[in-house]
A = this chain, B = another copy of it.
């Protein structure tokens, strides 16, 4: 492949790679291993927001009841664990993207639950119980973290109500009521809060989104943002604990996303409104081994190059593998959603995020396999990727034609993540797929989960430089091309070292 950068021509590219990241339920955020995985992610990528389920689930212990002297049942709120979680996030430079849900057992109208960890997915028995709790929580957070700070935390109401596993009967009318009641309750605390929904996934999404916006229009709800989710696989085939699945063409998925965008823009009052992809990944199941592969890393690179076109944020689901929706994982690599496997081992997709985080300046090239940026005059960096699946072709050799300073020494630095050089899943497989890693095995996997870094010198003789890079199957490459400001010390000659 040959990519030509044209001097002075800049392309649109909205890079929101670090805006938001997903997480397992909030109660897990108390764990030590969770914190360590998130720390690794923050040190290397540095997201701004974090979003996950379970704020009001019973393990967070927020909603409590007691009997008063008069024999009445009264509510009281316990923010001990909530503060521990928020303090941890703050320590790591993160703000919560608040998702309000699920229903505390004592407030619920029904008994239906979702997941191994049993989140109650039924409407409140009495709305006042729910809205009082929401308001008490927001009042508490404002007091502890400051009004101005908490106003920067977006508030999303519930999760995927269009699925009957997440919302009893996927009952649209009941969700709209929940939305309206909660929206009003939040705005009553402070009208400046940003509140949105409907957090739907791609099932019956067109009608849900339209009906939701019609409802908001009708009720004169001044929606602050909309949200939806995105996954890209065929139905997995299940075997024991695991599922095996094929990927769809990424453009096919993106089409769905642009349809949603257009629906919103078709409502005059919501046109150009902020739209958040509050979850995305390849597979929607936490036990599909594809998540751990180099293919996943390369496929996600494709998505990262595109999602900013219509979405204010796109939150990869999830940062780590401390996650219990389908139960506690049996092995460190188990097809979990995480960028990081248990044992704090970065998966290939972790590096895709690291690489996109480094993209700065103006976009000068963009294709299905590459994004290239220019900083200052004739300094470039970029990401190249090569996902290969189904009967998709493997494209190996790349030549980038860069406008450069003539008669200059340039340093090309590449960081390569592919099946040969940064493939911890394969190493784990090769050592026998151990369920419980020894210290030595953890260290081996850490060390085998790093990009290969290489540099080379290019001496330009013309104003256009042909930079060759090979992107192996399922590889992702980050590169920088920088003119060298060489100041050799007195008497130092690199070449002479090897002449002897």
Enumerate chain A interface residues (CB-CB to B < 8 A). 30-35, 61, 64, 66, 76, 78-81, 83-84, 88, 140, 144, 238-242, 244-247, 289-290, 293, 295, 327-331, 334, 342, 389, 411, 413, 420-421, 425-427, 429-436, 438, 444, 447-448, 450-457, 482, 484-494, 496-500
Please, which residues of chain B bring their CB within 8 A of the CB of A88? 32
Q: Which of B30, B244, B289, B429 contacts A31 (CB 8 A)?
A: B30
B32 touches A492 (CB 8 A): no
Known: A334-B489, A484-B431, A494-B433. A453 touches B448 (CB 8 A): yes
Smallest CB separation, A490 vs chain B (Å):
4
A364 to B247, CA, bound (A): 49
A329 to B357, CA, bound (A): 35
B328 touches A492 (CB 8 A): no
A413 to B424, CA, bound (A): 13
For residue A140, which residue of chain B has the nearest CB?
A: B436
Smallest CB separation, A493 vs chain B (Å):
7
Known: A421-B452, A500-B244, A500-B389. A432 touches B487 (CB 8 A): yes
A500 touches B246 (CB 8 A): yes
B31 touches A454 (CB 8 A): no
Count copies of this chain in the complex.
Answer: 4
Please, which residues of chain B bring their CB within 8 A of the CB of A435? 79-80, 487, 489
The 10 lowest CB-CB distance pairs between A and B, nearest first, are: A240-B491, A240-B490, A430-B455, A61-B328, A239-B491, A246-B500, A32-B32, A448-B453, A432-B486, A432-B484
Please, which residues of chain B bring their CB within 8 A of the CB of A447? 450-451, 453
A389 to B498, CA, bound (A): 8
A-B contact pairs, 16 of them (CB 8 A): A32-B35, A33-B84, A78-B327, A79-B436, A80-B328, A239-B493, A242-B492, A244-B497, A246-B500, A289-B497, A290-B500, A331-B489, A413-B430, A413-B431, A427-B455, A429-B494
Please, which residues of chain B bring their CB within 8 A of the CB of A342? 80
Please, which residues of chain B bring their CB within 8 A of the CB of A493? 239, 242, 244
B499 touches A244 (CB 8 A): yes
A486 to B265, CA, bound (A): 51
Smallest CB separation, A420 vs chain B (Å):
7
A436 touches B497 (CB 8 A): no
Smallest CB separation, A32 vs chain B (Å):
4
B433 touches A453 (CB 8 A): no
Q: Which of B289, B456, B498 contacts A430 (CB 8 A)?
A: B456
A434 to B140, CA, bound (A): 13
For residue A287, which residue of chain B has the nearest CB?
A: B491
Please, which residues of chain B bring their CB within 8 A of the CB of A492? 240-242, 289, 331, 334, 433
B496 touches A244 (CB 8 A): yes
For residue A455, which residue of chain B has the nearest CB?
A: B430
A84 to B322, CA, bound (A): 12
A285 to B411, CA, bound (A): 30
A66 touches B490 (CB 8 A): yes
Known: A328-B80, A427-B455. A433 touches B489 (CB 8 A): yes
Smallest CB separation, A72 vs chain B (Å):
14
For residue A458, which residue of chain B has the nearest CB?
A: B430
Known: A35-B32, A327-B61. A80 touches B436 (CB 8 A): yes
5 more A-B residue pairs beyond the given contacts A245-B500, A431-B484, A447-B453, with a C-beta to C-beta distance below 8 A: A32-B88, A76-B330, A80-B330, A413-B427, A431-B482
A312 to B206, CA, bound (A): 67
Please, which residues of chain B bring their CB within 8 A of the CB of A482? 431
Please, which residues of chain B bring their CB within 8 A of the CB of A33? 30, 84
A454 to B424, CA, bound (A): 9
Count chain B CB atoms within 10 A of each CB in A389, A450, A498 and give the residue with the most. Answer: A498
Smallest CB separation, A274 vs chain B (Å):
31
A144 touches B491 (CB 8 A): no
A35 to B242, CA, bound (A): 32
A34 to B32, CA, bound (A): 9
B78 touches A486 (CB 8 A): no
For residue A447, which residue of chain B has the nearest CB?
A: B453
A485 touches B432 (CB 8 A): yes
Please, which residues of chain B bring their CB within 8 A of the CB of A451? 447
A175 to B416, CA, bound (A): 58
Please, which residues of chain B bring their CB within 8 A of the CB of A421? 452, 454
Please, which residues of chain B bring their CB within 8 A of the CB of A448? 453-455
Please, which residues of chain B bring their CB within 8 A of the CB of A425? 494
For residue A449, which residue of chain B has the nearest CB?
A: B453
Smallest CB separation, A92 vs chain B (Å):
12
A242 to B453, CA, bound (A): 28
